[in-house]
Amino acid sequence: MDFPLNSRLIRNRRPCWLPLPFRPGRQIMRDNDDKGMPMSTKKLLGMIFAVLITSSLFAADVALNPNHPDRYVVVKGDTLWDISSLFLRDPWLWPEIWYVNPQIDNPHLIYPGDILTLVYVDGKPQLQLQRGRDVKLSPQIRVEDLGAAIPTIPLDAIQQFLTKPLVVDEGELDKAPYIVQNADEHVIAGGGDRTYVRGIDDEKIGLWDVFRPGGPYIDPDTNETLGYEARFVGEAAVERFGDPATLLLTETDIEARTGDRLVPMIQEEPITHYQPHAPGEDMEGRILSVLGGVTQIGQFDVVVINKGAEDGMETGHVMKIYQAGETIRDTVSGRRFDRVTLPDEEAGMLMVFRTFDRVSFALVMKATRAIHIHDFVRTP
């Protein structure tokens, strides 16, 4: 990564080895002749000097945004990622400069009205938090409620994907209850409509999620099927058990149709607060699909990548997106059928927010150029 000359660099703990600007053995021998210092002492000093230099470089450089503010007041609608981007080149490295003040309640939470100040402690940048929700009005103090703590990422962009869409194995939904027909002979049905369902045997289950079986997620490198999409249709409640049972569609994301499948309503509490971080080892994957019915991939779109929990992928993992280099015909070389593959180009960044066994859902946090299906994702 190229940094501007005026950027300030912070060191973290990842090793970074650089060659020393001298040749210790030859220099020690010459100094021994000139100054009479014992060879063992010279060698020891050289080793200590080398250790000091390399240990100071046991880091990956974390750069501040060259246009960072010195002070920022948090406003409603901000996300932690937004604010991190103001101060840092790589927003997921926020913890590197965050000062946890033990005198502040919940110092990891940031609220609208809070004041963030960039200071330097022992020559290193540090972000300090000042609670801004106590508004002084002479002769008394009034506490102004500015709402909940700001989220890490824009939750409205991922809300519908946090629990409802599923990735299933082949045939997993084949034996699930299904819509045999919508009421009043409607081809499609929406919220407030009734539908008839076969296969509900357990009368203790009254609330159901409706899914539409989708296509396979196929790894473009191995041609292996990693799972199958189960697209969320909506929610339904049983009005009358039987064969078929009568259900009321309480809400729908898309129209319900004959053949849609039902599973007991998912009650799990979704994860809504994330700690963005890079994977601990180099990882490379591909974008398999984009969710939400869009055809072009841009900022705040949700994509599916071909790495899951079995590959070590975790919620919060940050990956850079690279536009795959196109293979073109060289029309200049004069050689027939001469082709060359252009280099991959950085195209953006994503953060994983939900993992399955072999695939994951991720939110595109930044898009600097067009992003396509089968583009690469790599550890930053």
- pLDDT on residue 199: 97
Note the Cα 98 to chain centre separation in Å. Answer: 20
Q: Is the pLDDT of residue 370 over 80?
A: yes
What whole-number distance in Å separates Cα of residue 214 and Cα of residue 236?
20
Per-residue model confidence as pLDDT tens digits over 142-164: 444 446 888 889 988 898 898 88
- pLDDT on residue 61: 57
- pLDDT on residue 109: 85
What whole-number distance in Å separates Cα of residue 211 and Cα of residue 145?
40
Q: What does pTM read for this prediction?
A: 0.75
For the packed helices 39-56 and 24-35, what is the interaxial angle rounded to 10 degrees? 140
Q: Which residues pair with 210 in a beta bridge?
A: 234, 262
- pLDDT on residue 355: 96
What whole-number distance in Å separates Cα of residue 18 and Cα of residue 11?
15
- pLDDT on residue 160: 85
Q: Is the pLDDT of residue 230 over 90?
A: yes
Average pLDDT across the chain, whole number: 82
| DSSP state string for 81-92 | HHHHHHHBSSGG
What whole-number distance in Å separates Cα of residue 191 and Cα of residue 185?
16
* Tokens read off for 42: 């010279």
Q: Which residues contact 247 (CB under 8 A, 6 or more apart)?
A: 194, 195, 196, 197, 208, 236, 237, 238, 239
Worst-scoring range by mean pLDDT, 29-38, 248-257, 259-268, 281-290?
29-38
Question: What fold, for 284-378?
Answer: Thrombin, subunit H (2.40.10)
What 51-57 contacts at long range (C-beta under 8 Å, 24+ apart), as own/partner pairs, is 53/18, 53/20, 54/17, 54/18, 56/11, 57/11, 57/15, 57/16, 57/17, 57/18
Q: Is the pLDDT of residue 46 over 90?
A: no
Q: What is the largest CA-CA distance in the chain?
A: 104
Worst-scoring range by mean pLDDT, 79-93, 95-109, 265-279?
95-109
Direct distance between the N- and C-terminal alpha carbons of the chain, in angstroms, rounded to an integer = 10
- pLDDT on residue 225: 97
Per-residue model confidence as pLDDT tens digits over 271-317: 778 889 999 999 999 999 999 877 789 999 999 999 999 999 999 99
- pLDDT on residue 62: 67
What whole-number distance in Å separates Cα of residue 53 and Cα of residue 47?
10
Q: Which residues contact 83 (CB under 8 A, 6 or more apart)?
A: 72, 74, 110, 116, 150
Q: Is the pLDDT of residue 100 over 80?
A: no
Note the Cα 242 to chain centre separation in Å. Answer: 44
Sign of CA pseudo-dihedral 282, 288, 292, 295: positive
* Residue 181 burial (CB count, 10 A): 16
Per-residue model confidence as pLDDT tens digits over 312-336: 999 999 999 999 898 999 999 989 8
Percent of the chain residues topping a pLDDT of 70: 79
**Domain segments of the chain as ranges:** 17-57, 63-143, 159-264, 284-378
What whole-number distance in Å separates Cα of residue 290 and Cα of residue 286?
12
Q: Is the pLDDT of residue 192 over 80?
A: yes
pLDDT band, very low/low/confident/very high, at 102 (cuts 50, 70, 90): confident
* Residue 200 burial (CB count, 10 A): 21
Higher pLDDT, residue 345 or 275: 345
SS3 248: strand
